Structure 1
Amino acid sequence: MSATYASPYLGRFTGRTAVITGGASGLGRAVAARIVAEGGRVALWDLDADGLKEAAAQVGASHVEALDVSDQAAVAAAAKASNAALGKIDILVASAGITGATVPVHEFPLDNWRRVIDINLNGVFYCCREIVPFMLAGGYGRIVNVASVAGKEGNPNASAYSASKAGVIGLTKSLGKELATLGVIANSLTPATFESPILEQLPRSQVDYMRGKIPMGRLGEVDESAAMVCFMASQECSFTTASTFDTSGGRTTY
């Protein structure tokens, strides 16, 4: 999604601010472009400092933070800095993640397991923990935690990724119920595999396996998931919380 994206919802995010993790590429970058094009301001967080600068320039980000979301202290500092830069935080899109090793459980490297859980699950928890107070102070919030169909079904040879995404779903359901009467809505996205730089972390055989599970017979496009995220992040999403939104080409229907 480029900065020249022509939104059919012009002004939908006017006056709104968003923190987007994993904002240097893929889904995070596409969501940022849409929110800015629709009138909002964004802070991009990512571990890739060079990619972050490029993405910020392209989408017109108001603030950037180069950090590892698995570092709780860094997340807390970034949340304070982003709130100060933006004036408030209305939206959190937690899309930073890694795939991890592609091996059976009994061969899974321990360090890699811990790294996947630290980024994909603990990182989402840290972001929610540190940003929710700013939303509560403003009486408004939309949280979109990016999970995966792997968190519902489990992908073979991807146990850490599947477990981490299942954890994101459970975390979001708890969070959404806690905040249901406080003006803050929290939901998770459960996409099937879509075209994204994260696929470079996987062997072709794993990508082919995941494509074969999709009834539509193709991978998703990043813009398809970005469109869903932007609905979830908008005021239009007003009576659904603690839930999951599916963009899986028919792979999951629950």
Structure 2
Amino acid sequence: MSHPDDEVLVDLALGSDEPEAGAREHLDHCDECLRAVAELRRAASLVATSDTALGPYAGWSAPPANVWSRVAATVSAGGGGDPRPAAPRPVMAGSGAAEAGGAHPGTAPQVVRLEDRRSRRRVWPWAAGMAAAGLVVGVLAGRTFWASPASTDSSTGSTVAQAELDTLDTKQRLGEATLLRTAGGVDLRIATSRPLDAGDGYLEVWLINSDGKRMVSIGVMGGGEMGSFPVSQAMLDQGYVIVDISKEHFDNRPEHSGDSLARGRLPA
């Protein structure tokens, strides 16, 4: 099976209105590329919300002096010179977004990976790694990779399904999830009745499988009350119909935190 170029996957992750012909259809049949787009989308979402979500974690800090010494020693051992720059560039402090985890608060069901990451080298492991470092500035084909918020105007698509988003303990309604079919594919749009409190972390949106054992992160909510996330029809067909919004921490842990703020099930 031939796969789309990395740049095409980036276009899909950023919600391009005119992706390469057949690219979206390819995602419906290729778990590997679907996973790649999810990783890129998560990285882009973190960048897009960095001003509000990362807070004090987004500060710049210089690496310890021994970092450059170790790099220089390694390069010298291989016959190279001292790579230490005249003015070391700082690195972004921070942490990455969660990827998968429990289907119930306080629990952690099995994380099911959609493919073997080693099967084919693509750009998405790079993007995930940069997201974990808190810095996503990828340049593909001469184009800088930055995220722009997706449209939340429901007039741009036809409604396929809706679900109320309620708290798990008191069943208080906090918002609504709407599945829309657009010219470019399928979008899941979240609207909450008020901004949800992420504390010192961030909010992540998940699709949980109806079996209660598998889930996939589809993106990070910003500081507002609305968000839009492209999803694959293949995921919906496989039973990923439970929408979950969780509070996550900058702790380098890929699992769902178990702290779900709201959840709702899309009708089949």
TM-score range, shorter chain: under 0.3
TM-score by length of structure 2 reads 0.26
**TM, length-normalised to structure 1:** 0.27
More strand by proportion, 1 or 2? 2
Greater helix share, structure number:
1
Higher normalized contact order (CA 8 Å, seq sep 6+, divided by chain length): 2
| The structure with more radius of gyration | 2
